[in-house]
């Protein structure tokens, strides 16, 4: 078959259309997992799957699949393409959604071109990738790959007190299939980079070789509440001050390191949270990431040691809760090579690279060969309404997905 290309107008139009689902009156885009607004996004995606003539399947954790299995295709394991459509709070329109809609576009393009695959092709939208309402993130793909029991996941209580399983049932996406009912032959995820590397270097396509390890912890520091005006500094057991010291420690340690380690404190609350009361309790999250497992363990140990030091110096106590822990992941070298060669054939510049963010692909590596394709993010901005990738880059990335999918589904791997 000669070179074919995706329908750019259809893909870009759907990205914009889905990007308006979940808009609040103030213009913010919010489609948290299993919420009313995410139901609307799911409904729209399913309608497009059905319009394309594909079979729709939903599993118990709410993962949605659009299945193309031509009559002449045997019961071979399918090629799976996908990502997610849930968002963070006040999100951009590309994160996750671009990969899902491009996967659907690839299938529609191949169908229209009369391509006869040697195996089925499936597009997937995984549940709760962002982890904003329910923890951990990448939950749908983690459950799908067997890394988390489905009943345990469904019993997860969200930040608003709801249970995931009850919410999926309420919105009509508690499917009947057991997670993992389709075991893919291979998995490819197309995504915006969410970082500055490709744009900074003027590169059009990222062939992602590996993903960083991720450590999420919740730290609670306890001290004593007391009057802000009458308690001398030297006599305070100030949980808020201790929390600030931890933030500074993490930032300085990462900044002074010659490694790619990053550390982030993303959530923090004080008790009693009053302007004239010394905080008796500070609760905050710590997000540590590194592409090397041993270095990630060293950062976790350094945090633990510093907390113990603070307890002695500041007269406070602390508790640490593990929220999520994922080891670094290396993708399948054969698929990464296919991506790089496909980019060269289309005349695009390409860079082999590491992903700083977590993605569903890292979970699917537990059950199938996988890899990712990145396109540039302007300014490296993501999880933000300013998230932007130029249309020509979106189209180029979707055509890379098309080319690689055609090769794999045609028996190339």
What residue numbers does the annotated binding site cover? Answer: 84, 95, 130, 191, 383
CB 347 within 8 A of CB 396: no
- Binding site as annotated, residues for Zn(2+): 84, 95, 130, 191, 383
Residue 307, H or E segment? helix 293-314
Is-contact 295 259, C-beta < 8 A? yes
Which one-letter DSSP state was computed for residue 355? E
Report residue 24 as tokens: 């609040």
Burial class of residue 363, CB neighbours in 10 A (0-12, 13-18, 19+): buried
Among 388, 361, 412, residue whose Cα is nearest residue 1: 412
Residue with tokens 């028996």: 411
Q: Which residue in this structure is represented by tokens 């995984």?
A: 126
> Would you call 281 helix, strand, or coil by DSSP?
strand
Residue with tokens 């993490």, as numbered in its chain: 250
Nearest to 59, CA basis, from 171, 144, 163, 178: 178
Question: Which tokens in the block code for residue 233?
Answer: 């500094």
State how far the Cα of 209 lies from the Cα of 331, in Å rounded to an integer.
5
Give the single-character DSSP code of 233. Answer: G
């Amino acid at each position: 078959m000669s070179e074919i290309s995706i329908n750019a107008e259809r893909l870009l139009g759907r990205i914009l259309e889905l990007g308006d689902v979940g808009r609040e009156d103030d213009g913010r885009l919010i489609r948290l997992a299993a919420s009313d607004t995410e139901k609307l996004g799911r409904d729209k995606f399913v309608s497009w799957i059905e319009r394309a003539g594909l079979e729709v399947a939903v599993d118990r954790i709410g993962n949605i699949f659009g299945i193309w299995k031509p009559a002449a295709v045997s019961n071979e394991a399918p090629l799976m393409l996908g990502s997610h459509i849930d968002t963070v709070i006040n999100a951009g329109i590309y994160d996750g959604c671009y990969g899902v809609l491009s996967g659907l576009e690839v299938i529609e393009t191949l169908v229209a071109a009369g391509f006869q695959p040697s195996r089925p092709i499936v597009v997937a939208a995984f549940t709760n990738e962002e982890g904003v309402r329910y923890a951990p993130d990448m939950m749908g793909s983690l459950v799908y790959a067997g890394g988390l029991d489905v009943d345990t996941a469904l019993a997860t209580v969200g930040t608003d007190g709801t249970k995931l399983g009850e919410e999926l049932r309420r919105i009509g996406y508690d499917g009947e299939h057991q997670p993992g009912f389709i075991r893919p032959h291979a998995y490819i995820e197309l995504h915006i980079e969410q970082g500055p590397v490709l744009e900074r270097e003027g590169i059009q396509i990222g062939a992602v070789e590996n993903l960083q390890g991720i450590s999420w912890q919740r730290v609670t520091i306890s001290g004593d509440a007391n009057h802000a005006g009458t308690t001398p500094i030297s006599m305070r057991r100030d949980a808020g001050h201790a929390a600030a010291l931890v933030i500074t420690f993490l930032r300085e340690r990462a900044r002074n390191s010659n490694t790619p380690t990053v550390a982030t404190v993303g959530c923090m609350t004080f008790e009693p949270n009053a302007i004239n009361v010394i905080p008796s309790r500070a609760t905050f999250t710590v997000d540590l990431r590194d592409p090397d497992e041993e270095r990630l363990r060293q950062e976790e140990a350094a945090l633990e040691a510093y907390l113990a030091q603070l307890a002695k110096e500041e007269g406070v106590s602390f508790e640490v809760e593990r929220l999520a822990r994922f080891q670094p992941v290396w993708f399948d070298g054969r698929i990464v090579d296919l991506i790089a060669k496909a980019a060269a054939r289309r005349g695009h510049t390409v860079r082999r690279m590491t992903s700083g963010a977590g993605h569903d692909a890292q979970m699917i590596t537990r059950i199938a060969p996988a890899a990712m394709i990145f396109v540039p993010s302007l300014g490296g901005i993501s999880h933000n309404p300013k998230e932007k990738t130029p249309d020509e880059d979106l189209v180029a990335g979707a055509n890379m997905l098309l080319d690689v999918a055609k090769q794999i589904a045609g028996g190339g791997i």
